[in-house]
Structure formats: structure tokens, C-alpha cells
Chain A
Amino acid sequence: MKTAPAERSLRLDRIVAIAGTDLRQLRQARDFWMPMVLLGGIFFVFVPALLLGVISAAGEIEAVRQFSQTLEVLPQAAQEQIRGDTDAGRTSYALAVYLFAPLAVVVPLTISTAVGASTIVGERERGTGEFLAHAPVSVREIYLGKLAASLLPGYVTTLVGFAVYSVIVNTIVGPEVGGWFFPTPDWWLLMFWVVPPFLAITLSVVLRLSARVRSTAAAQQASGLVSLPLILLAYGQATGALFGTGASAVVVGAVAWLLAVLGLVRGASSVARARLLGVADES
């Protein structure tokens, strides 16, 4: 017996209902979203504003001049893109456009990993997995609902942070380089082409873990181990792509999308009703 239930076509309204319910619960959990907002605030607002503000205010001091000189080690293509007539302007521009780019990856990965780690095992721990197991939804719909609920908080926080970051950068660095310049084309690519698949790759692994482990604590521990190398990889690829030309970002993004799709397809099979009931490990 033990045959897998036949899968019917996916129903978007049920996926939205599952995701919406998870997001509504997150909204009620102040102890979750306060650190999330704080994280976005630190990475997208506080640190950039402080660093860029200090550099702009400091002007032509020795430290800024030395940093400006280190920009010469960058690839020629990247050097040509750096704007500004002064050392402070060029340094601020380089920081804003290149060195803060990994933030766009770290913030959503951290937030979405935290949500995703508990999303399936949490249903089991709270006993609500029993409700979902008896509900007329397919396991693929459950998986996609959980994926959306994990992805959206991190990605939306990142997009909001990105918008605020753009305003900060243009306000502080813009006058030094001849006007508003941010987001650059590379940042648009990063935000809408590179970051989403990296997020999806991470979540495909995290949701598999969440479906298989016995407790939320175990899922979060394991997810931390998974997301760390992905953050490092994303850091290298995101900055590498940006230091080159837009074409490399397109390629990195395309490969990441391919891996994400493969990961998500495989990940969907990790959700089983028996796991929601908490009896799969004993089968």
C-alpha cells in the first residue's frame, strides 16, 4: 500500500491561504518581527548612514585618501564606473555601490531562514500539523504556501531596506558625485535577479530540514549551518558580479535560478502528511 496520494492541479487560493495564515501569525509575533526590523535597520540604515556620513564629513583626510588608493586594485571595468572627483566622493561611491552589496543577500537570508526553519516543524510541534494533514490541500500546496511565507518577510524587508538605503546613499553621497545615482543597473540586477534565487536555494534546503527534523530548535541549528556557506557564496558571487559587468550578474543569476528550481522541485517531496502528524520517523 503506502502509495503516494495522487497530486491534482495546484490551487493558488489555497497556497495564498496557507502563506497568509503563516504571515498573519508572524505579524502577531512581536518577538519575531522586532529583531527582523532591527536587523534590516542596522544593515540598510544605521551602518551605511554612519560610514558614508563620516567619510563625507571627514573630507580629504589621510585615511580616506588611502582607502581611495586601494580602489585601484579593482578591475578596470569597476574602476571606470566609480564616480566622484574627490577621494571622499570616490570612496563613498565605492562603499555605497560595491561594498555594501552583500547586505542585500545577508538580510533576506537571515530573516527567511529564521522563518523557514520553524514553518513545518512548528506545525508539528504546535499540533496544528494534524489540521493540515486532514485538510483538502496537496502537500505541494502546503510546501509552496510555506515557501512563500518564508520568502516574503525576508525579501520584503530587503526591498524596503533597499529603498531606504537608496535614499540614504543619494542624500549623503549624491552631492559628492554630481547628483542622485543610486540604484545603479548592477544593483537592480542584484535585487531582482540575483537575490531571489539565492533566497530560494537556501529555503529549498531549510524547508527540507524543517520537514525532517524533530524540533524547531534542531531546524534552526541545522539551517544556520546551511545558510552560512550560502551567505559566503552569495557574498562572493554578488560582489564578484558587481565588480565585473552586468553580464556576469545575469549569468550568476541564471545559474542560481536553475539551481533554485531544482532545489524547490526536490524540496517539495520532503513534505509528507505523516511528517505533519509527527509519525514519519517511526514508519
Chain B
Amino acid sequence: MGGPVVELRAVRRRFGDVVALDGFDLSAPAGSVTVLVGPNGAGKTTALRIVTGALAPDAGEVRTFGLDPAVDGEEIRRRCGVVSAKPALYDRLSGRDNLRYSARLHGLDRHADVGWAAARFGIEHALDQLVGGYSTGMKTRLALARAVLHRPDLLLLDEPTSGLDPESAHAVLALIRSMAAEGSTVVLCTHLLLEADGLADNVVVLEDGAAAVAGSPGDLARAWLPDTVLRVDAEDRAVLDTLATAPGVLAYERDGGPATLSLDGPERVPDVVAALVAAGARVTRLEPRTPSLEDVYLAIRRRPRPGGDGTGAGAGS
């Protein structure tokens, strides 16, 4: 990964009395997938709009490709592909006309091939239909095709799988992953943590218009859920209970089925196996459990905050 493609420093933006962003920092390295997570109204969409210069901040510093959107907005937008929360397509035009319109605004030839982008998202068969007749999934696929048509260096995706069936959502995420692998920088907004899991190089948790926590999923997991969690099963499950008092076991839980252990470090795993063998257990399952992004996010949201109730209610818009 290279230097930052997107850099926001202490960005502030308010709408009337509502503060959408309040000292927000963001750094998205080149070739990375950065995921902005947070509750509805946390300021994710506002942040994306500020990155392209579609919206100007009240205060703070914004650099995209090292350029200031207030000065070089057109150049920045030429190199960005954006998929907004709503597909923002022209219902009275065909899919092909929607793509051609975008192509022309991005400086491509009026006869430029748009089929490859449609084919990439599996929507080429419907290009000559009016978009008004498309399903939600088809619209999202077309919006994605439109966003990549001009081969952008930066993709900004605002909840791109919203309203999609699981199969379509999976396909969209796979395509985002492949585009990131090809070198595009991706900034993805979502409040669906399952989407971001396995996709994100960096995660930024937005709260009250600011980045509460930022880092790679691994770093965040180590910081917020440092314990090693292990699921253990054996033919004689009663023997598992001997682990409750074993050295390094911070927490032990068994509710009739397999046991779940929290250890003070991954180096304790061989000790656990040795203890079970010594107790005569025939181990049938030993599964280190990696915390999901959702686990990490919930741990962050539930942390005690000054003056907060710990429920993590977001603010802003």
C-alpha cells in the first residue's frame, strides 16, 4: 500500500443545529479498503461527500490524491467512482444510456464501450431496458458498473449492498474485493459489519461525527478483544470442566455442550491441550475463535465513555 489517497484532518461539518462531522480524521492508503462503520446518522455519507468535494467542510483540511477538493474538485471527481446509498440512476433511461451519460461526463468517447463494465457486474443482459423496470439488485449492479466505467483510482461506496438479497450482496462484495486487488483504493461505508469482515484493511468507527477508533481489523481485535477465545469439545464433556481452574484461563463457560474458554494469550493453547490429555480426555474439537469485526465493533461501542451511558447512541447526520 502506498501513501494516503484520502486524508481528512479535523474536518467539521454541521447542518443547522446538527453536527455531522466534528473533528473527523481519516486516512485511506493507496490500494487499501477502508471501511467506515457506525450507526445511521454517524456522518459516513457526509464524509464521502466531502472527499469528492461535493460538499465543502466548515473547517478542517481535506486532501484527495493530494489535491484540495475546493480547488481541484473536478480533477478529483474525474478520478473517483461513487456509488451512493440510493443508486441515483435515471429511471426513464435505459441502462446503456445511464452508463453512456456517465462516460461522457467523465470525458470518455460518446461511443465508448460500456458493455465490459455491465458484464463485470452481470447486468449486460438488461442494458437496453429502462432502469425504471429494474429490481433493486439490478440497479445496484448498474450503479457499480457506472462507478467503475471510467476506471477510477478511488472508489467510494456508500452501503452498496443495502437492500440486496444475500446472493447479490455476496457477489457485490466479491467484486469490490477483486477491484481492490487490482489496485483501486476503496472507501466503503456500512453499518453491516458482516460486509466489512474479511474485506477491510482499515476500519474507522465513527461516533458522534468523529473517528472514535481506527486501525486494521487485527489491531482493533488485539486492542479491544485481547483474550484468546477457544472452543473445546471432548467425548466426555465433564472432563472439560477441569479447565475452569487451569493456569491462564480467564473465563470458562459450558452450557451442556462444548466449552468456551478465554485465555490470557495464544501461547496457552498447548497448555490447555496438555491439561486435557493429562485428565484423560479424548478431544474431538479444538477451535480458536477469531473475533469478528462485529464483536470488535460492539466492544468498542459498549466501552464506557465520559458522560455516556455506554449504549453508544450516535449523533449527527
Contact = CB atoms under 8 A, between A and B. Distances in A.
A associates with B = yes
Interface of A: 1-6, 8, 13-14, 17-18, 21, 24-25, 28-29, 126-131, 133-138, 273-274, 276-277, 279, 282-283
B282 interface: no
A125 to B, nearest CB: 11
Contact of A134 (B72, B82, B91): B82
A133 B89 CA distance: 13
A214 to B, nearest CB: 14
Contacts of B57: 1-2
B137 interface: no
A24 B93 contact: yes
A131 B82 CA distance: 8
A18 to B, nearest CB: 8
B278 interface: no
Contacts of A2: 56-58
Contacts of A128: 88-90
A135 B102 contact: yes
A5 B296 CA distance: 39
Contacts, number: 109
Contact of B93 (A5, A8, A25): A25
Contacts of A134: 49, 52, 54, 77, 80, 82, 84, 156
Contact of B88 (A6, A17, A127): A127
B86 interface: yes
B105 A24 contact: no
B102 to A, nearest CB: 7
A282 to B, nearest CB: 4
B70 to A, nearest CB: 5
Contacts of A273: 53-55
A21 B59 contact: no
A182 B72 CA distance: 54
Contacts of B77: 134-136
Interface residues of B, number: 43
B286 interface: no
Nearest to B70: A3
Given A29-B92, A134-B52, A136-B78, A6 B71 contact: yes
B16 interface: yes
Interface in B114-128: none
Contacts of B287: none
A1 B90 contact: no
A133 B18 contact: no
Interface in B47-106: 49, 52-60, 69-75, 77-78, 80, 82, 84, 86-93, 97, 101-102, 104-106
A28 B74 contact: no
A21 B93 contact: yes
B132 to A, nearest CB: 9
Contacts of A14: 104-105
Given A5-B71, A21-B90, A28-B130, A136 B56 contact: no
Given A29-B92, A126-B91, A283 B15 contact: yes
Contact of B84 (A21, A127, A136, A137): A127
23 contacts: A2-B56, A2-B58, A5-B70, A5-B71, A6-B71, A6-B72, A14-B105, A17-B104, A17-B105, A24-B93, A25-B90, A126-B90, A127-B88, A130-B84, A131-B88, A131-B89, A131-B102, A133-B52, A134-B156, A136-B106, A137-B74, A282-B15, A283-B15
